[in-house]
């Protein structure tokens, strides 16, 4: 990215309108950094796609998000920062600027062969597994009581076949006698 400083506003305006001819190619110019999230239009949304290798083509991500209902304006790859400076090393994350979404995109999205993690504003946060609603329904697999899970169970093991205290079903002696 280049920064061009002009002496007066008229020259700046004419350069922005006409663009720049560089080695026979017309290069569009922007009045400000168009990739800066602070300069996004109010009707756009910034989507971050992670967990997709750098070697994967961006068109797969573009297609998957388009099928989810995204109207994509731009897609670019995030670069690594070292001590606050951007270096020419890609992180693999893709930054997508799209129009506001009618419905949120799923957190996990299949893009070609890979399962991508998609994050954007307005996406609902899902409660973790130890929420109260889950713990009322699902029993603990260690003691077979309702209200908690194995990772925070204070009780001893219970045989899941015969409901006997003190051993797992795989160690059950009654199971082998039958």
Q: Over its length of 178 residues, how does the chain's per-residue pLDDT go in tens digits?
A: 677 777 888 888 888 888 888 888 888 787 776 666 566 677 888 899 999 999 889 999 999 999 998 999 889 898 888 888 888 888 889 999 899 888 888 899 998 889 999 999 888 776 554 444 544 578 888 898 888 888 888 899 998 888 888 888 788 887 555 5
Classify residue 167 by its DSSP letter: S
The domain defined by 37-120 folds into: Alpha-Beta Plaits (3.30.70)
Bridge-partner residues for 54, per DSSP? Answer: none
CATH of 132-177, one of 4.10.60, 1.10.1200, 2.60.40, 3.40.50: 4.10.60
CA distance 125 to 131: 13
Q: What is the pTM of this model?
A: 0.53
Give dist(CA 59, CA 107) in Å, integer.
19
Tell me, what's the pLDDT at 37? 58
Structure tokens at 73: 């304006």
Q: Return d(Cα 76, Cα 78) in angstroms, integer.
A: 7
pLDDT of residue 95: 92
Q: Is 1 exposed, middle or buried (0-12, 13-18, 19+ CB in 10 A)?
A: exposed
Q: Where are the domains of the chain?
A: 37-120, 132-177
pLDDT at 135: 44
Tally DSSP H helices, then E strands, for the chain.
4, 7
Same fold for the pair 37-120 and 132-177: no
19: left (phi over 0), alpha (psi -120 to 50) or beta: left
């Amino acid at each position: 990215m280049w920064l061009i400083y002009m002496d007066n506003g008229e020259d700046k305006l004419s350069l922005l309108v006409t663009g720049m001819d560089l080695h026979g190619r017309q290069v569009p110019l922007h009045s400000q950094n168009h990739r800066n999230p602070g300069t996004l239009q109010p009707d756009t949304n910034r989507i971050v796609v992670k967990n997709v290798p750098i070697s994967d083509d961006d068109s797969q991500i573009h297609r998957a998000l388009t099928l989810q209902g995204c109207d994509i304006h731009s897609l670019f790859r995030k670069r690594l920062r070292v001590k606050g400076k951007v270096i020419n090393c890609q992180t693999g994350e893709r930054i997508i600027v799209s129009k506001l979404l009618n419905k949120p995109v799923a957190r996990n999205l299949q893009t070609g062969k890979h399962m991508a993690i998609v994050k954007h504003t307005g996406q609902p946060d899902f409660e973790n597994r130890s929420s109260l609603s889950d713990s009322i329904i699902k029993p603990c697999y260690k003691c077979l009581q309702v209200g908690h899970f194995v990772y925070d169970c204070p009780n001893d093991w219970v045989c899941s076949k015969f409901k006997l205290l003190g051993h797992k079903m795989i160690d059950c002696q009654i199971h082998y006698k039958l």
